[in-house]
Amino acid sequence: GALIKQCSGKLDIVADTKFKLNKADTNVIEVIKLKLLVRKSIQAGDKISGRHGNKGVISRVVLAADMPYMADGTPIDVVLNPLSVPSRMNLGQVLETHLGLISYKWGLEFKHILKLHDQLNSNDSVIELARLKLSELYPDSDFSCCDAVSIMEIVRETCEGARFAC
């Protein structure tokens, strides 16, 4: 009870619950073990791991305003030591990082097309621009037979980022 009160508001989910009947103890009917996950913010010195088997230690946490940013003003999430990339990153991580950034950039372009479409009230030139950009992104697909509603639906889905399969 005291642990739950202490962690109220921070409690995320119950990760594992086990019910066990112990025959050796006659006084104990059930032993209940709960494992609780608590969300905590990352601090310097915390060890983290990725899904590719990599692990590392947080050296410092800085404010978003103090982080470097790209030419368009987009802040950078993580700064890596360049010496650690060839020795510690595998191909999956490198592809995931680069394709994620490319997907984000394509999403920005499609958000711009969607904004133009809404401002110009379904202008045919915007639909053609969307077809052209979709053909650039997916060169093996033919978008010439799709109507305007289908094209704009694909654009709306792609606004969250382009999907890649490796």
Domain boundaries, the chain: 2-38, 90-158
Contact 111, 159 (CB under 8 A): yes
In this predicted structure, what is the pLDDT of residue 19?
52
Tell me the pLDDT tens digit for each residue of 16-71.
555 555 566 566 666 677 777 788 888 999 998 878 777 888 888 888 888 888 88
Tell me the pLDDT tens digit for each residue of 84-109.
777 777 777 778 888 888 898 889 99
Contact 130, 115 (CB under 8 A): no
DSSP summary character for residue 37: E
pTM greater than the 0.75 cutoff: no
